[in-house]
Amino acid sequence: MIRVVAGIIEQDGRVLICQRQAGRVFAGKWEFPGGKMRPSETPREALERELREELGTAPKIGDLLQIVRHQYAEMSTAVHISFFSAALEHPPRNRAFERIVWARRAELPRYDFLAADRGVTSRLVRGEI
């Protein structure tokens, strides 16, 4: 199982979403920022590291919002994703993505999200998280 963490970062009524780079697996798909955990990390430590690397700013990690297990047909190993609320101390800088966008919750269905993220996006749109 691949353990992954992701941050739901909301500011001024908008959620930060990120588009995967061309030439990578799932290129062009949208996701929430985060990444793979290292063996020695807790989920919060991993998310803090990933957000610093990807967005160039110190995050404050909040509550665990949802856990998703998903098996992609393109991968032999399932992913286990822990979604946390998070806040950024400074505006994000795009260090790892094709694009980053601050999107209103109602706009999220317009973006082609990774399959594992779609349940979380639906809950955000409905105001459940």
What secondary structure does DSSP assign to 23-79, as a single string? Answer: TSTTTT-EE-SEEEPPTT--HHHHHHHHHHHHHSS-EEEEEEEEEEEE--TT-SS-E
Q: What is the pTM of this model?
A: 0.96
User: For residue 29, what pLDDT is reported?
Assistant: 98
Distance of CA 92 to the CA centre of its chain: 14
Q: In CATH, what is the architecture of 2-126?
A: Alpha-Beta Complex (3.90)
What backbone phi and psi angles, to 5 degrees, belong to 45? -60, -40
Each domain of the chain, given as residue ranges in start order, spans: 2-126
pLDDT tens across the length of the chain (129 residues)? 999 999 999 999 999 999 999 998 899 999 999 999 999 999 999 999 999 999 999 999 999 999 999 999 988 999 999 999 999 999 999 999 999 999 999 999 999 999 999 999 999 999 999
Neighbours of 25 (CB within 10 A): 9
